[in-house]
A and B are shown apart, each in its own frame.
Chain A
């Protein structure tokens, strides 16, 4: 049909975008992962990845991402739940989201001031008699700041899931004699599991790859997969090794999406 012809013509820019900026980059990463630092074709990067140094880094990166996601979930779920009970819930939700619109680096920078040696946090610790502690450049500060940054992204999908839930179901559970805990475990949580999955997905994957936070807040103590990739691409210029780590990060990403998977397609 004539329909099809003209469609193909105006569709070109979009298809070009998919080819150049979606498919090509992934293939290029894969391609580069097979070159060593001198530009020779080899599998050395994959061998290196399976040495204890890199495996340990991958595991610790996972562990941090896991902690960050877990703590975010523990804080976000009750928050989202209580938010749905407030009067002007959409407005309150908006107020939760506003901080996420502020540049991440500025928030990290704020914490450099707060957690610094003479910062507010230490002032507080001194006032209650604990005394000055090294807070900045520790695991604690890294996890705290990450959770702080990701909380809105965890609250949003859970809030939406809770908001869509039919309230009569709760009445039904109540009438049938379920305790509050039982109602939560058997009715509320299963019905909002999609929101939880989405939330974990949007927190876990970035948590694996944040490199600016590890640099600014954790002072190179914490090395995540993202930090390693940045290091290889921009500092040591070993693009092959960086690409190899990126390949594994992509694989992990697909695995996570598969596990937390088939959420309703966007449209």
Chain B
């Protein structure tokens, strides 16, 4: 605020934003091209969108992707919250740090490693590759992020709150559902949301464990893109971009609320 940006700095920022957004708008723009290529704009058409909505196979894949995302986010959130409460209940910081390091392994591992190792795991365990293997791996790689988002909220909560509730005669279940969970709710929402985007966004892990019969959107886009340009993908990406923007707005408001309700005590 205090020091104004020089014109050169402004130009630099504008350039960065242009480069960041150009490819996305490029895709959106050509999704309306009746010419069928990503150059040489012939005329405006909705043909590709129509084709997209008539493609039942693709619609089933979209549905699969959504079901996987919602289910995996839900289950990952439940297990993640349990994990966070568990980690918090340890008193020794050594045990806590060990658990946290283990928790973070899947966050820092490259996708290829996660995918390859899960492929071995499912093959050894005799789980058929398909819906369940994809669901299980999405749950698995979403849990740590939920834990990381819920834990700070738990740590911020004063333990006297729980003592007070216990003194006033609340059962353990009451303490959990009436004191702890409402307090950490913003963290839970943020965790669920992150898990959702992790799942929707994932390509590499799914690619390894998906097998032949089952496909998610990312995997489908990959196999379409390997075959070359088809403006159906452009139409699809326009729709996905719109959904993403919507999610970003929702996420922004959720985190704003978290920031408002949460930042008080810390730092």
Contact = CB atoms under 8 A, between A and B. Distances in A.
Nearest to B152: A267
A101 interface: yes
B100 to A, nearest CB: 7
Given A13-B79, A25-B121, A101 B197 contact: yes
Interface stretch (B50-58, B178-186, B218-226): B218-226
A194 interface: no
Contacts of B24: 99, 102, 107, 110
Given A234-B208, A243-B120, A10 B140 contact: no
The B contact surface, by secondary structure, is helix
B120 A119 contact: no
Contacts of B17: 95-96
A141 to B, nearest CB: 12
Interface in B167-201: 172, 197, 200-201
A209 B108 CA distance: 12
Interface string A212-231: 10011000000001100110
Given A113-B229, A246-B112, A212 B222 contact: yes
A18 interface: yes
A211 interface: yes
B119 interface: yes
B203 interface: yes
Contacts of B13: 79, 82-83, 86
A22 B39 contact: no
A104 B201 contact: yes
A214 to B, nearest CB: 11
Nearest to B27: A110
Given A106-B27, A216-B226, A98 B102 contact: no
A32 to B, nearest CB: 6
A246 B237 contact: no
Nearest to B93: A265
B27 A22 contact: no
A266 B121 contact: no
A104 B240 CA distance: 12
A125 to B, nearest CB: 13
Interface in B1-47: 1, 3, 5, 9, 12-13, 16-17, 19-21, 23-24, 26-27, 30, 37-40
Interface in B101-123: 102-106, 108-121
Contacts of B106: 21-22
B121 A119 contact: no
Given A99-B20, A253-B110, A246 B116 contact: yes
A29 B117 contact: yes
A181 interface: no
A33 B89 CA distance: 38
A119 B226 CA distance: 17
Nearest to B154: A267
B20 A113 contact: no
A116 B40 CA distance: 12
B177 to A, nearest CB: 13
Given A17-B143, A114-B23, A211-B204, A226 B112 contact: yes
Interface of A: 3, 6-7, 10-11, 13-15, 17-18, 20-26, 28-29, 32, 75, 78-79, 82-83, 85-87, 94-96, 98-99, 101-114, 116, 118-120, 123, 148, 151-152, 201, 205-206, 208-209, 211-212, 215-216, 225-226, 229-230, 233-234, 239, 242-243, 246, 249-250, 253, 257, 265-267
Interface of B: 1, 3, 5, 9, 12-13, 16-17, 19-21, 23-24, 26-27, 30, 37-40, 78-80, 82-83, 85-86, 89, 97, 99-100, 102-106, 108-121, 124, 137, 140, 143, 148, 151-152, 155, 172, 197, 200-201, 203-204, 207-208, 217-218, 221-222, 225-226, 228-229, 233, 237, 240-241, 244-245, 247-248, 252
22 contacts: A10-B85, A21-B143, A25-B117, A25-B121, A26-B105, A98-B248, A99-B21, A101-B201, A104-B203, A109-B221, A116-B38, A118-B37, A119-B39, A209-B110, A212-B222, A215-B226, A233-B115, A233-B116, A233-B119, A246-B113, A253-B110, A265-B97
